[in-house]
Structures are given as structure tokens and as C-alpha cells.
Amino acid sequence: MIRVDFANIDSGRVGPDRGVEWERELEAAAGKLEEARLALLARQDDPEAMLGWVRLPEADPEKINAYVRANSWVSDLLVLGIGGSALGAKALAPALAGSGARLHFADNVEPEPVAALLDLLNPETTLVNVISKSGTTAETMAVFLLALEWLRRNLGDEWRSHVVVTTDPKKGILRPFAEKHGLATFAVPPDVGGRFSVFSPVGLLPLAFAGVDLDGLLAGAGEANASARAEISENLPAQTALAQHLAWRKGQRISVLMPYSSRLSLLPAWFVQLHAESLGKAYDRHGSRVHVGPTPLAAVGATDQHSQVQLFREGPFDKLVVFVRHRAADRDLVLPAEEGLEDLAYLFGKSLFQLLSAEAAATAHALAAARRPSYTIYLDRIDAFHLGWLLQHLMWQTAYLGELFDINAFDQPGVELGKRYTYALMGRPGYEKLAAELEAAGVKP
Ligand code: PA5
């Protein structure tokens, strides 16, 4: 079960300048949110709307599970992908991985870590999963070229059984390459964008290799779908989107995601991409310049209490903090008494989870006392079901925010130009005009 406690955004707690009268605002926005809900539901089967991620929880993961079972020789999965093609599995694996293969993510082109990975891995028991929807992403393709050469050098013709390709069902260069060499393939549905693809084979295949319970994950995501389709009083994604939108309008332009869990320490990185790439937009749907988008910021409790919380509590009044807490630990540790350390007696006999929970409650209250708004998302526990629910909830929240900002949350025009300049600097044919522009500006690799 997921529940959200909005008490600390209420003006009764944090004052009228930064807080809101939550119940009143919710009632006032009910019409607008209902419009957003109906608009999203009406568009969900339109391939152009890029809402294919809504259907992913209904897909049967058996093909993926069967592939993993058939490849039980895999000790290490080398995942080659970047952005939405890596961040979902990267965020979930530390919390959910069971006794499966070890996952390694090569999501950058810095040579030393890539070389270190190839030195570390045993090609005999490594499967390379190249993930690129477009099949054109320079970073992913560059490391793929190196991995192919590494496999061929070590395994000869056997390399083919050590590569699995996740890409568009038709488009791009990876699909014909896979067909030519008889490689195993999985498809990214065309109407699912990268940052919304964690519950497609993009995220599910690596997670299945790591021993994650895909059925639980998808069942949880299904709960988020049910909530997002429900009427507004029961609709958590619409409500958290409203809280985010109100915060933006009140000048809290930074949206912090702070799970109290080291196992979820990479979840904010996934959220940062989801919100930043979806909501940071220059134009609204009518072509007017708007330059909107809350700046997402990553934090982890309790660690960041000794770092960023100083800024959150005393710095500019520009943040909304969202805590993610779990209600029960799967395994807890009781703190033993120690003679000579009686100053710590307040800890003796308590558990680490009690301390973690107290830290989260204390931080939320300390922020509210300094008139800093926050809300808390509670998960019953950290497991596949609840994380499936949470991630799909955050995707729906993003979709609702797209409606509230009246922007297209499913494109990313701002990242395209940088990609094209990179191609030009690397001498890709067809980019000569941009190369000339860069040369004139004195830009060099
Ligand atoms: O969310 C997105 O669309 C991006 O982050 C992409 O996932 C990223 O650019 C990688 O793209 P591709 O899967 O085409 O290699």
C-alpha cells in the first residue's frame, strides 16, 4: 500500500507564504485535475501520445523470464545504455536484486571505467545487453563496438550467444544488425519513451537477470494505474502533481526527492531524469514561450541530513522536499548496550530502523518548523510490489504535471541539439553544416 501524507505542505504548518490550504486547493483544482485525467485517459491508446508505458504493467513477463531461465550460465550482465535505457534498472536493482546475475552498467564513455569493466568481466560467463531504442545513441554504440570486439577476441564465433539487443521493433540500425547475426532481441514499444520504459524489456530484462520478482513489480505498477485512473479524491498521482504544481506557483521551483533508504539511493537519479526531461520545456502546447519545469534534486536520508539538509532548512525558500519512507524493515538490527558508552544509552535496545524512522520524522518536522514545505510518500515496505507502484506513480505524476503546465511531457527537443553537435564534432556524414558552425565558433572536441 502507498499512502501520501500532505500535512507538511499545509499553511497551518508552514505558514501562508509557502504553504497551501491543501483541502481547499484540492477542491478548487478538482475540475482541472478531472480534465487532465480525462485527457490522459482519452489519449492512452493513441500511439502519437507516447502513453504506451501505461499498458506495460499488463504485459506478461514470461518471455523475459523464460529467456533468463534459458541462459542460466550468465554470471554477469553488462548493460550498455544511457538515460532512460539504464536508469530504471539501475535505480531498482540495489533494492530488489535476488540471487541472480550481477549487473554492470556502462552508461558513460569515460575510457577508464569501461576498460576496468572489460578487464574485470569473464567473457565466458558475461552476457552483453545493448539497450537503445533509437539505435543511434553515440555513447551506447561506442561502448557496444568495444564490447563486440572484446567478445569476438575472446570467444570467436561464440560471441553471438553473448549479446542480447533491446531496441525498437523496426527502426534503427540495431534491429537489422541483430537479424543479420541471429542475435536474441527484445522490443521497446514505439509509443514508450526512454524515461518511461523501465517496465518494458529495457528495465525488466536486466532486473530479471538480477533475480527481481517481475510479477510483483508489474502488479505494483498496476496499482498505480488504478489510482491514476480513479476519481480525483482517490487519485494519488493527480494529487501529488497538484502539490508539485502549487509549490512551483508559490516559488518552490526545486523539487527534492529524498528516500530514507540507501537501497533507494539511485531512485532520485531516475526521478531527476523523468522530471527534468519531461517537464523542462521552452514552449507550451500552443507555441507560447513558457520556460517551465521544476528543477529536480536528488537527496538520500539519513545521509544528507549531514549535508544538504542545512541548505534545505536555512537556504532560499525555493524547495519542496518529498520524503519516501517505508513502514517496516525486512531485517532489523537491535543496538546493544556498551559499558563505558552510557552517553549512548538512549540508543541501547532500540533498533536501526527505529533510528532511521525517527530521523525521517525529525527532519520533516524540523523543515516544517523552519516553514519549509514537504510531503511524505509511505510504502509499507521496500519490495518489488511497492517499488513498481512508486515508479509508475511518479510516471503518472509527470504526465499529470504535463497537463497542468500545458506542455508535451513526452518529447525532449532540448537534448537533441547537443547530440547533433556531438555528431558534427565526431565527423558524422550529414552534419557538415553544424561542423562548420562549430569550427567558426572555435569549438573543438
Ligand atoms: O528518455 C529518453 O528518451 C532518453 O533519456 C533516452 O532514453 C536516451 O537518450 C537513450 O536513448 P536510446 O534508448 O535511443 O539510446
- In the predicted model, residues of the chain with pLDDT beneath 70 are none
pLDDT for residue 219: 98
DSSP conformation class of 284: -
- Cα(85) to ligand 1 centroid in Å equals 6
What angle do the packed helices 236-249 and 384-405 form, to 10 degrees?
50
Ligand 1 atom, smallest distance to 140 CA: 15
pLDDT for residue 162: 98
pLDDT for residue 266: 98
Domains of the chain: 2-41+217-405 (3.40.50.10490), 52-212 (3.40.50.10490)
Ligand 1 neighbourhood includes 223 CB (under 6 angstroms): no
Paired with 298 in beta bridges are: 257
Ligand 1 neighbourhood includes 203 CB (under 6 angstroms): no
Ligand 1 neighbourhood includes 137 CB (under 6 angstroms): yes
- Cα(287) to ligand 1 centroid in Å equals 24
pLDDT digits (tens, 9 = 90+) for 209-243: 999 999 999 999 999 999 999 999 999 999 999 99
Nearest CA to ligand 1 atom 2: 194
- Determine the 3-state secondary structure of 126 from DSSP: strand
Return d(Cα 398, Cα 387) in angstroms, integer: 16
Handedness of CA 148, 154, 157, 162 (dihedral sign): negative
pTM (2 decimals)?
Answer: 0.97
- Determine the 3-state secondary structure of 326 from DSSP: strand
pLDDT for residue 416: 85
pLDDT for residue 415: 87
Nearest CA to ligand 1 atom 9: 83
- Cα(62) to ligand 1 centroid in Å equals 25
* CA 229 centroid distance within chain: 21
Active site residues: 277, 306, 419
Q: Are 377 and 2 in contact (CB under 8 A)?
A: yes
Return d(Cα 327, Cα 350) in angstroms, integer: 16
Ligand 1 neighbourhood includes 373 CB (under 6 angstroms): no
